[in-house]
């Protein structure tokens, strides 16, 4: 199995690059943001509870997303590997993920961290907000909260994986194809090692 984390702040291009990476490498894409938005669309109790938190730009509780990832891992027993997007977002989530993967006899191979300036993040998200229908994209104060949550709670997850020499920083500004090529080079180097 080859398990990859695509890491980075809101708007850094995780979703965009994930689509291309899963097509090239045949990984199963697990985005906790997408899973939560499906719960909201289906108006489940979990979705309704998560919506008010997401609309403020805050993180939903660790237990909720860890359980969603646990179920997704259980439901995909024949996956050749997973691409985690937007998860883990706290050290507790990272520790829980390591545990879940080790129970399956596997681990995270690589964490690719997209580096994008704050001004560019805000510009991208406001621009996407014109068409995405995502309520957390339309208001600059909510976008700022999402970036603050990242800085306060999520950036440490990069340091967590850096301790295990799994973190590689990638320039996240430039064309989508340039960034994709840089990501692929790291994956190819790692899977050949």
CA distance 143 to 122: 7
Tokens of 146: 């999402």
Q: Which one, of 111, 73, 116, 71, lies nearest residue 89 by Cα?
A: 111
Q: Is residue 50 left, alpha or beta, with left meaning phi > 0 and alpha meaning psi from -120 to 50?
A: alpha
- Three-state secondary-structure class, residue 8: coil
**Residue whose beta carbon is closest to Mg ion:** 15
* 80 part of the active site: no
Choose from Mg ion, ligand AP5, none: what does 72 bind? Cβ within 5-8 Å by kind: none
Choose from ligand AP5, Mg ion, none: what does 179 bind? Cβ within 5-8 Å by kind: ligand AP5
53 or 109: CB nearest ligand AP5: 53
Choose from ligand AP5, Mg ion, none: what does 129 bind? Cβ within 5-8 Å by kind: none
Cis check: omega of the bond before 177, within 30 degrees of 0: no
CA distance 116 to 175: 12
Residue of 37, 51, 124, 146 with catalytic role: 146
Choose from Mg ion, ligand AP5, none: what does 154 bind? Cβ within 5-8 Å by kind: none
In angstroms, what is the minimal distance from the CB of 128 to Mg ion? 10
* 37 part of the active site: no
In angstroms, what is the minimal distance from the CB of 40 to ligand AP5? 10
In angstroms, what is the minimal distance from the CB of 11 to Mg ion? 8
- Asked if 115 and 35 count as a contact pair (C-beta separation under 8 A), the reply is no
In angstroms, what is the minimal distance from the CB of 191 to ligand AP5? 23
Question: Binder to Mg ion among 3, 12, 15, 185 (CB under 5 A)?
Answer: 15
Q: Which residue has the tokens 């090239």?
A: 24
The residue ranges that bind Mg ion (CB under 5 A) are 14-15
């Amino acid at each position: 199995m080859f398990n990859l984390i695509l890491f980075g702040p809101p708007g850094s291009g995780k979703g965009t690059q994930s689509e291309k990476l899963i097509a090239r490498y045949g990984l199963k894409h697990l985005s906790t943001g997408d899973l939560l938005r499906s719960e909201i669309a289906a108006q489940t109790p979990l979705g309704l509870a998560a919506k008010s938190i997401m609309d403020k730009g805050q993180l939903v509780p660790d237990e909720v997303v860890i359980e969603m990832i646990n179920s997704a891992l259980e439901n995909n027993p024949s996956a050749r590997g997973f691409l985690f997007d937007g998860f883990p977002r706290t050290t507790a989530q990272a520790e829980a993920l390591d545990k879940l993967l080790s129970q399956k006899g596997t681990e995270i191979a690589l964490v690719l961290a997209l580096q994008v300036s704050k001004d560019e993040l805000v510009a991208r998200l406001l621009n996407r907000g014109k068409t995405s229908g995502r309520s957390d994209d339309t208001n600059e104060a909510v976008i700022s909260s999402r970036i603050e949550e990242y800085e306060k709670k999520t950036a440490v997850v990069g340091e967590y994986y850096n301790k295990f020499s799994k973190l590689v920083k990638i320039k996240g500004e430039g064309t989508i194809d340039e960034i994709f090529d840089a990501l692929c080079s790291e994956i190819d180097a790692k899977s050949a090692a």
